[in-house]
Amino acid sequence: MNQDFIRLKDTEGTLLLSHTNRNLGCKVTTKEIIFQRPHCTYQILFEDIVSMIPHDVPAKPVMLPLFGNSAEKVSTSFASSYYKISADRVRIYNRSGTYEREAMDLIVPLHQLFLKYFARYCNLTIVQ
């Protein structure tokens, strides 16, 4: 596990699956999904997820905004399947504290194993 990840003490549910790939971590419990990158962690309860759709990401590096005026360059070569998750509420942990944001979209790489747990524990309707 990356030493720069912020560890959460107050997770909901039972841990089902955890995956870490250098600067990106993802955990799924029976009630939430947690995305981790260095110095920033996103916690989304399944009940707060409005939609999740496949998303195409360009093959070149993408600049992702950070808090303040800086940005982080992220390579898009570490996953083949990206999804856009829209949530009513997201809890964000960083070195400055904890914040809650409403109506937020996240574009994240997810492996097929995670989708199985989404289908089982999230109240979304699967459309194929």
Tokens 């870490």 — which residue? Answer: 20
pLDDT of residue 122: 82
Q: Is the pLDDT of residue 4 over 90?
A: no
Q: Region of 59 please: left (phi>0), alpha (psi -120 to 50) or beta.
A: alpha
pLDDT of residue 89: 94
pLDDT in tens, 61-73: 666 666 655 666 5
Q: Where are the domains of the chain?
A: 15-55+81-121
pLDDT confidence bin for 117, thresholds 50/70/90: confident
Residue with the larger pLDDT of the pair 76 and 122: 122
Burial grade of 14 (CB within 10 A; 0-12, 13-18, 19 or more): exposed
Question: Cα 38–16–115 angle (5° rounding)?
Answer: 80
pLDDT of residue 72: 61
pLDDT confidence bin for 107, thresholds 50/70/90: confident
pLDDT in tens, 17-27: 888 877 788 88
pLDDT of residue 75: 55
pLDDT confidence bin for 100, thresholds 50/70/90: very high
